[in-house]
Structures are given as C-alpha cells and as structure tokens.
Amino acid sequence: MPFAESTEGSIFYQMDGRGEPLIMLLPQSRGPRGVNALIDLLSKKFNVIRYDQIGTGRSHLGSGNYDLSIPNRANEVATVLDSLAIESANLLCHSTGCGIGLATAYMLNKRVKSLILINPWSYADDYISTMQRLRISAANNLSPYDYAHFNFTMLFPAQYRRLYQKEFEQIAVKAISQPHNPDQIKNRLEAILEYDTREIASKVSCSTLAITSNDDILMPNWHAAEIVENIPNSCLTTLRYGGHMLPETRGKRILSEICDFLIN
C-alpha cells in the first residue's frame, strides 16, 4: 500500500484517474451512498488523490504526541504533495476539510492552484459553538446506536433520511458493534472551534469557490458567505437543499459546480 512518510506518522493515500491533481479533504462521516459516486465521476477528469489523516483509517500515528490542530493537519497535505512530487494541486474540501484547505492555501500559498470549500465554517460563533458542544455531549452520553441517528439528523436533510431510512438504520445497528470514540470526536470538534479562518482568509490568493446549502443546520450558509467576503478572488454558490453532506446528497450538482469552476 502507498504511504507518504512524515516525522509524525505514515499517511496512506490512493489515486484515481488522470489529469490535474485534485486532493480530497473530506470528513470521516458517511451516509448510505457515501462519496464514491462523486469520486468516480471526478476521476474521469482529474487525478483524484485521497488520503487518511494521521491517526485515522489506514494511516499510522508515530511514537510521539500528535498535534490535532487544523494547521498541523495542513502539514499532512504538504507531506502528500512532497511524496508524490506534485508542485501544485487543486483542493476539494468539505466541512472540517475546509479549515484544513484554507490553512494549506495560506501556509503553502503557490502550491494550491484553487480551493473548493463545501459547507465551510468561518469561525466559532455562538451558533457553531453550541452545535459542536452538543455533538460532543451527545457522543459522551448517547449509546452508539442513538448517537448514529443523532448525527444523521445533524448532517442530512429530512427528505434524504426518509429516502434511505432502511440504510440509515443498518448503519446505526452496525455502530453497536463498532462504537464511536467520544474522545476522538471531542478532539476533532474542538480543533474546529479553535480555528478562526478570518485571521487568514484575506491572505488566501488562489481562486476559491464556496458551496453551501440553505438547509445546512450544522454549518449554516452565512459562514460560506463571510469567507467569500474575506477572500479576494472567490465566489459563492448557495443550493436550496442538501443539508451538510452535499458531496453525498447533491453529488451531480457538486460535480457540475466543480467542473464549471476548474475547467470551463
């Protein structure tokens, strides 16, 4: 298996397709359909690069303590780029990955050709803080089954949950034997709360597309609007519905927006 090696761990990555490199910065949450359909379509036009963050999936943590901050996660992107001898790449980011993408664009500057931010947050305002603290509390106090359904409610719109009701139930039942780790969830969500993109957005020089949804209850659309106001060369697309997990719930529309932005 291919790994990008760093002093803090080994990063598993995989590539699909040909063309300009497109690095995917996606969260760990998944629904019934996931993002494989979107990745398959993207790989027809781009060299799609996915990797597991250090300490997750197939990536291995080194022997020392690991800094889980957003800027340090951006260093993992640099490690992948260096390992593949890629001078510059486009970044496709979603949710937590948006903070990592912004930090990468700020820290690496010319190595990021363009930035796509799907359902981003700008900073931990009262709304974001309340929602993330609620998720931390739920992870600590709910059973794996109930926490799975709680998370689905946060991430997916009601219509989508109704359409895939049986599949969501199967995922929740599976969580009983594969329970979530409350400490890992707490650390990941606190990293979001600690990162304020307003401090760097105006210094991001690459072209940027932000995509949000009117019914995203986790990271509401005003955050994407604020990011676009702060990044000089940026634009905003607001979808009417799709919830927080737009790469899964609105995959074809997301593909269209990406291609219009990067190709047309």
**Residue-level length of the chain:** 264
From the CB of residue 164, how many other CB atoms can be counted at a distance below 10 Å?
A: 18
Q: CA-CA distance, 146 to 41, in Å (whole number)?
A: 34
- Torsion sign over Cα 132, 133, 134, 140: positive
From the CB of residue 95, how many other CB atoms can be counted at a distance below 10 Å?
A: 26
Q: CA-CA distance, 126 to 213, in Å (whole number)?
A: 19
Q: CA-CA distance, 43 to 18, in Å (whole number)?
A: 7
Per-10-residue mean pLDDT of the chain, 264 residues long, equals: 81 92 88 92 95 84 76 92 95 96 94 97 97 97 98 97 97 96 92 94 96 98 97 96 97 95 86
Q: CA-CA distance, 242 to 155, in Å (whole number)?
A: 9
Q: What is the pLDDT of residue 99?
A: 96
